[in-house]
Homo-oligomer: A and B are copies of this chain.
């Protein structure tokens, strides 16, 4: 075993281990959180948070007041989303809030389920989350580009998009009363320039993609209309009677540490979170582009530069996923990479072509390095796998 220079992590994977980059498991930032030492440590006593209720004065009665405060503070610091005059709903990850939004936006007396769409390539969970219970309230209707039904619909707008990192706006030109859900999981400075303060009707964020704490299962929705917020809260009530208080307390603490790290005079030993994580993303993308540029087998999307209001610099998008395309005669890139012990999610899952895969860019350093090594090996001229 040896240490990788960048992170000080121990190598624990053997050189022929299977590298799982199918999920976007955001373990990349462990190094950052280790550097922060005790700043983020939470201590919870046995007698705390017994009750279902966190704040009976809030319509979101299971929302911890300090979480609401720190979420709103961070959005003000970053400038990525409006929070004034918004209702905040906390969820068990943003996945649960997606479902809460579908529930809230479905016409309760509809004779048939409302159509749910998103422009392909769309996040692979949308069809599954929409259809897994065969709800009579809503139904997956596929690629928003191809949607031409009259009547009500719900469109997921994901920006930056998962899987391909593009900046997006609503697609459907609906005249029948479409509702939008903006999934802004990746609208943070480490991934993309912050070009405006978003102020959509429903905006979803998740702790896991902001800070890397996927295990906490914390997401939040900022909701303009009280009645919609109330229906989403109702969903949360019936589905899980609220959200873990421990996770909320910890998320509040960690988000607070991030906001503090961005202060003009940050606390001692604090490292600006977004600078650190953006640098890591830039570095990884540079490395990946260098490897991919070595041959004509693979290609990656290009992203335009834009002015980031948060950093005050021109930057480009460095998505949490690489949307890797194969330019050779390989029909199924996911299958091909699996043969090389790299698990990535097939383009098919995103309503797209299996010549594409989505590869996590936010894994541990060690996995990322092995991934690069394997891509290089595949591309080597002596490698017989590709004719």
Cβ-based interface call for A12 (8 A)? no
| Minimum distance in angstroms from A143 CB to a CB of chain B | 21
* 8 A Cβ contacts from A266-289 to B: none
Binds B, one of A31-39, A192-200, A330-338: A31-39
Cβ-based interface call for A243 (8 A)? yes
Give the CA-CA distance A257 to B134 in the complex, in Å: 42
| Minimum distance in angstroms from A134 CB to a CB of chain B | 3
Given A93-B241, A95-B241, A246-B246, answer yes or no on A257-B46 (Cβ-Cβ < 8 Å).
Answer: yes
Does the CB pair B29–A50 fall under 8 Å?
yes
A103 in complex: contacting residue of B133, B137, B247, CB < 8 Å: B133
Does the CB pair B95–A240 fall under 8 Å?
yes
Cβ-based interface call for A224 (8 A)? no
* 8 A Cβ contacts from A38-61 to B: 38-54
Name the B residues within 8 Å of A49 (CB-CB): 213, 215-216
Give the CA-CA distance A38 to B25 in the complex, in Å: 33
Cβ-based interface call for A74 (8 A)? no
* 8 A Cβ contacts from A95-143 to B: 95-96, 99, 103, 125, 128-129, 132-137
Give the CA-CA distance A7 to B136 in the complex, in Å: 49
Does the CB pair B41–A44 fall under 8 Å?
yes
* 8 A Cβ contacts from A245-277 to B: 245-247, 249-250, 254, 257
Give the CA-CA distance A241 to B96 in the complex, in Å: 9
Given A239-B95, A247-B246, answer yes or no on A25-B43 (Cβ-Cβ < 8 Å).
Answer: no
Given A134-B136, A136-B135, answer yes or no on A36-B25 (Cβ-Cβ < 8 Å).
Answer: no
Does the CB pair A46–B50 fall under 8 Å?
no
Give the CA-CA distance A40 to B215 in the complex, in Å: 21
Give the CA-CA distance A100 to B360 in the complex, in Å: 29
Given A96-B239, A238-B128, A245-B215, answer yes or no on A23-B46 (Cβ-Cβ < 8 Å).
Answer: no
A217 in complex: contacting residue of B26, B46, B243, CB < 8 Å: B243
| Minimum distance in angstroms from A257 CB to a CB of chain B | 7
Does the CB pair A238–B46 fall under 8 Å?
no
Copy number in the complex reads 2
Does the CB pair A238–B53 fall under 8 Å?
no
Cβ-based interface call for A92 (8 A)? yes
Does the CB pair A51–B36 fall under 8 Å?
no
Does the CB pair B239–A217 fall under 8 Å?
no
Name the B residues within 8 Å of A214 (CB-CB): 50-52, 241
Name the B residues within 8 Å of A38 (CB-CB): 45
Determine the residue in chain B with the shortest Cβ distance to A91. Answer: B240
Give the CA-CA distance A228 to B100 in the complex, in Å: 26
Give the CA-CA distance A386 to B366 in the complex, in Å: 75
Name the residue in A33, A50, A218, A240 with the highest tally of chain B Cβ atoms < 10 Å from its Cβ: A50
Give the CA-CA distance A135 to B51 in the complex, in Å: 30
- Leading 5 A-B pairs by shortest Cβ distance: A40-B46, A134-B136, A33-B47, A244-B244, A49-B215
Q: A33-B45, A133-B136, A134-B137 are in contact. List 17 more A-B contacts (CB 8 A).
A: A25-B51, A27-B50, A27-B51, A37-B46, A38-B45, A39-B46, A40-B47, A92-B243, A92-B244, A95-B239, A132-B239, A135-B135, A215-B242, A217-B241, A217-B242, A244-B247, A246-B246
CB<8 Å pairs between A and B, sample of 10: A36-B47, A41-B43, A49-B216, A95-B240, A99-B239, A133-B137, A215-B246, A217-B243, A244-B244, A246-B246
